Amino acid sequence: MAALAAAIVGALGALGGAKIGGRSAVDAAAVAGAHEHELSRMEVRRSAYADLGTAAFRFSRTARAIQAAIDPRFAGSSATWEPVDPALYEALDSTLDDVAHKAMLVQLHGPREIVGIAWDITLHCQRTERSLSDYVVTSRSGAEAARQRIDEALEGVSKARGVFLANGRAHLDGLLVPLEGEPYLRTLDRELEDGEE
């Protein structure tokens, strides 16, 4: 009888140990799975942030190319009117669509503190597109003001892109966002110190 009791106690002990060991294995797998999920989510965010920054940069380059194609219309006393290659306008529309699409991806992947900053890029790109449209139809007397509006709009795209990327990097590094101010300008806005060029 003692042997039977010992066998039952042993079997119950083994079952209890298996249950505890099994539960520990399940818990460890859940922790590992959650960690892998978080790493995957962060990588998707990193990619979405980089893609939006790249799309905004391409938009700016395309806008500058259109501006450069229009500039000769107002150069010197014998300026000539040359049409802008329609492919440039198609490229501008395509890059603007790409910026909006990439901003939507950021909106999907978040976090919400970054989303508004991402859409700021799109708004500045739209403002640049409108400024270019005004420049195309401006007269010689309004050319300088129109060119200045394009420069300001493109500077807005650049600043918005910099603020977005700085905040995206901060979020990926686990810092609170949004960052105060425009962190990417901290070295650009200051006066050059003696000896710097």
Tens digit of pLDDT for each residue in 167-185?
999 989 888 877 765 554 4
33 located within any domain: no
Let me know if residue 12 belongs to a domain: no
Res 132: pLDDT: 94
Of 70, 72, 66, residue with least CA distance to 89: 66
Q: Does 6 reside within a domain?
A: no
Task: Evaluate whether residue 16 is within a structural domain.
Answer: no
Report the distance separating Cα 93 and Cα 63, nearest Å: 10
Please give the Cα distance from 123 to 153 (Å, whole number): 10
Give the pLDDT of residue 143.
Answer: 87
Q: What confidence score (pLDDT) does residue 71 get?
A: 87
What's the confidence (pLDDT) of residue 100?
Answer: 97
> What percent of the chain shows pLDDT beyond 70?
72
What pLDDT is stored for residue 30 in this prediction? 57
Higher pLDDT, 110 or 161: 161
Q: What is the pLDDT of residues 118-142, one digit of tens each?
A: 999 999 999 999 999 998 888 888 8
Residue 48's domain comprises 41-185
CB 132 within 8 A of CB 74: no
Report the domain count for the chain. 1
What CATH number is attached to the domain comprising 128? 1.20.120.1730
Examine residue 196 and state whether it is found in any structural domain, yes or no: no
Residue 192, pLDDT > 50, answer: no
Lowest mean pLDDT among 18-22, 74-78, 107-111, 122-126: 18-22
- Enter the DSSP assignment of 178: S
Give the span between the Cα atoms of 174 and 111, in whole angstroms: 12
Rounded distance between C-alpha atoms, residue 88 and residue 47, angstroms = 27
Tens digits of per-residue pLDDT, 1-29? 777 666 676 666 666 666 676 666 555 55
Does some domain include residue 56? yes
Question: Is position 11 within any domain?
Answer: no
Is 34 within the bounds of a domain?
A: no
Query: Residue 189: pLDDT above 50?
Result: no
pLDDT score for 193: 43
Most confident of 93-107, 157-171, 182-196: 93-107
